[in-house]
Each structure stands twice: as structure tokens, then as C-alpha cells.
Structure 1
Amino acid sequence: MKRTYQAQNRKQQAINTKTRILEATKKLLISFNYNDITVPQIAATAGVSTPTIYSLFKSKLGILKSLLDSATDAEKFSQLVIETKSSATLEEKLAQAAKMTSQIYSAEQNLINTLNGLTGISNELSLIQKELEERRYSRQEEMVKLILGDIKNCNQMELQKARDIFWALTSRNFYQLLVAERLWKAEEFENFLKQILVNIFRK
């Protein structure tokens, strides 16, 4: 019991430390050019050691990546995944997928707008978003298999094409174009995305 408590305590301490580092980074980004901010400076602002930051994030780029990840409520996201997998019909699965897409990007929007307005960060932000898109594509395979139903009746090309279509329609770029650029409401985007997905994947 004591070991379990100690392990849980260490885990919570690590979470608290990460949070302080991320908050310190956001504070510095408001006042300084990204390229001028150093890891020791972040460490001093967060009240931690420089080795601690490298241990948790590996690099300054790793901190930025975690900033984007932290914009999404992990518990809420996990619940959406569970609800999507447990949906009884194709339409319900696609509705949950559209809901998940809209809520994730809505949560990220303020942070992305802030980062896009900063000096010296565009290259790093592009690298992070590219990596996030690759990770998203990989994670969506299980979802697309659920949508297709009995995967044994689908050849690899059909699965590949379905993954490509689903990935493109649920992309950050698609959301940005309609919500950020054309000023759609998030609810409008969610309903529109749901209808497109249903029209494409309905058997």
C-alpha cells in the first residue's frame, strides 16, 4: 500500500511539474521572441532545474508539442473515444467522430491563434503540426475499421482509401478553413462534417 501511495505521489508531482513548465513557457512566449527563449530561462521561470525539463520534454520543441497536447482535456477526449467505440450504428459512430473532431480543434484554437501570432515560431509550429497529423492518421485506423464494419470483406486498397478520406475530412486544415477563416460556428462545422461522413461511408 505504501509503495502504491508513493508511486501515485511521484506521478502527481511529475504532472504538477509539467504543468508549471508549460505555464512558464506560455508566460515567456507572450513577452519574448521564441528563438530568444532558452531552456534554462524556462526552468528558472518554472522554478525547476534545467535537467528536469530535458528529462520531461527532451527539448524546447518538445515543450511546444506538449502545449498543443495540453489544450485538449485528456479525460474528456478519452470519454469521447469510448462513446464512439460503443455507438451501435454507423450514423452514431460518425456523429461521435464529428463531435470529437470539432471539440478537439475548438479546444486548440485559442492556443494556436496565440502561437501563430508570435515571432520566430512558425517553422517549429509547422513541424509539430505535421507530427501531430501523422500521429492522428496512425491512430485513426481502428476507427475506420469500425466504420467499415467487417474488415474481412474489405481489401487493403479500400481500407487505405477510407483512411485517407477520413483523415482529410477530420483534419485541422479543414476545420481552420471553415471555422477560423470563414467564421463558421463549431456546431455548424460538426453538423456539416457528420453529414459528409454519413454520405460517404453509409453502406
Structure 2
Amino acid sequence: MDSEPERRRYDSLRRAAQARQTSAEIAEAARKLFVANGWAATTVRDVAREAGVSAPTVYAAYGNKSGLTKALVDAADLSADAARMIAGLEADAGDPARQLGAIAGYDRRLFERAGDVIVLVREAGRTEPELAQAYRDGRAAGDRTRVQVFSSWPEGTLREGLDVPSAVDIYAALCNIDVYLTLTVERGWSADRVEQWWCGVLVRELLA
């Protein structure tokens, strides 16, 4: 039996898989170079050379260097496993302390797996308005999640005198990339220890 028609049937799937693999290799090369050399010092040609592809291939996949960086931001969000956080929020709907733990766990995973991307996007945003906006959008998305969760709690759950916006501000001051890097890089804490500390201090600072 001639297998050629069967091979042709899956050609489109094969091409799509190869394109995804190429895009992933480009993104990994970009992340490596951005972190090692800095965003401004890294060119599309550098990324292409590191990934073993042509510069036009990089442009075709991501548009430009800013587009590539924003793709890394999207990948960073995926790496933190938002579905796991949502499952925890749903399972612990009647337990604000555990819900705080679910949110802090997400941030720990985000910073642990993609902290380098967050830092490079923030730094690149000093000269690239698109990336500055991408960084602000990421922070705002986190705030919206916390507003939604904190607003769902019964009256009297938050510490006396504390409203939802203030609670969100306190969370942001405690659970951010700078605090995470200070504790893990400068002070030698493990990611587990940071998460446990966050869970304890959030309960003390936010809950009645």
C-alpha cells in the first residue's frame, strides 16, 4: 500500500510542530542572551545566531525584539501555573488564609521560574515604552486578582481599619520580585522559605 498520501495528510501537522519548536528555540536563545548581555546590547541577529536560524525567521516568528520579549512574558505567566492557583482559590473559598497561600504560591513560582524575565522586561522598559507597558500590565493583572479575591471575603475578614485597596497595596509591597531576590540571592533563603514567610506575614498583616 502506498504510504505517500498518509505522509502528506500529516504534513501540515508536522510543519506546525516544527514551527513551534523553532519558536521555542528562538525564545530560549533570546532569554539566555537578554539575561547574559542585557536587552539593549542583544540584537535580533545575535538571537538568530544563538538559535541557529536566520534573522528573517526570528522576525517572522515574533515581529521584532519587543515582540519576542513580550512572548517571554507570556511564557513566564504560563510557567507559574495559574490553573493551580485558581484550583486552590476555589478549594479554599471559605478560608482566607489558605487563599492568601494560593496567591503567594503563584507569585513564588512566577519569580522562581521567570524572575530573570521580569527583571529584564522592567529594565528594558526604561527605554522601550511597549515593554514598560507590558510590565505595568503584568502588575495590574496581579492586582486585579487580589482585588477579586479580597472583595469576596465577608465583612470583618480584613484587619480593622483596612480596606481592599490598602490590602492590595500591602500585598504588593511584600510579595514582589525585589523582595524575592533579596531573600533568595542576597540572604540565601530557599524559595520554600520565602513562600512560607509570605504566607505567615500576609495573614498577620491583612486578616483580623
- Smaller-chain TM-score range? 0.5 to 0.7
Partner of 1:106: 112
Map of 2:189 onto structure 1 = 184
Question: CA separation of 1:11/1:146 partners in 2, compared to 1, >3 Å: closer, same or farther?
Answer: farther
Whole-angstrom CA distance in 2 between matches of 1:68 and 1:85: 23
- Are the counterparts in 2 of residues 40 and 50 from structure 1 also a CA contact under 8 Å? yes
Larger mean CA deviation between 22-31 and 186-195 belongs to: 22-31
Match of 2:81 in 1: 77
Aligned twin of 2:159: none
Provide, for residues 126-182 of structure 1, a one-character-per-residue CA deviation record: whole Å limited to 9, x for no partner. 6658843541333331333212325999xxx93332222222222101111222211
Distance in 2 (CA, whole Å) between partners of 1:76 and 1:31 is: 22
1:92 alignment partner in structure 2:
98
Q: Whose radius of gyration is greater, 1 or 2?
A: 2
TM-score (norm 2): 0.67
1:8-19 alignment runs, 5 A limit: 12-19=17-24
How far off its partner does 1:90 sit? 0.6
Between Structure 1 and Structure 2, how many residues are aligned?
A: 188
* AA in 2 matched with 1:176: L
Query: CA 1:183–1:29 in structure 2 vs 1: closer, same or farther (change >3 Å)?
Result: same
Segments of structure 1 that go 5 or more residues without pairing to the other structure are none
Aligned partners of 1:61 and 1:124 also within 8 Å: no
User: Hey, what's the Cα distance between the residues in 2 that align with 1:46 and 1:170?
Assistant: 34
Distance 2:11 2:169 in 1: 45
Alpha-carbon spacing, 1:71–1:197, altered in 2? closer, same or farther (3 Å) = same
- State the alpha-carbon separation in 2 of the partners of residues 152 and 198 from structure 1: 16
Task: Name the structure 1 match of 2:198.
Answer: 193
1:146 to 122, 142, 149: 149
Displacement of 1:91 after TM fit? 1.3
Task: Select the structure with the greater relative contact order (CA < 8 A; seq sep ≥ 6).
Answer: 1
In 1, distance between residues paired with 2:109 and 2:29? Answer: 26
Separation in structure 2 between the aligned mates of residue 76 and residue 100 of structure 1, nearest angstrom: 6
Quick one: distance in 2 between partners of 1:38 and 1:144?
Answer: 39
Alpha-carbon deviation of 1:60? 2.1
* Secondary structure, counterpart of 1:165 in structure 2: helix
Other-structure match for 1:22: 27
> In the alignment, what sits opposite 2:65?
60
Task: Provide the identity percentage.
Answer: 24
More helix, by proportion = 1
CA distance in structure 1 between the partners assigned to 2:86 and 2:108 by the alignment: 16
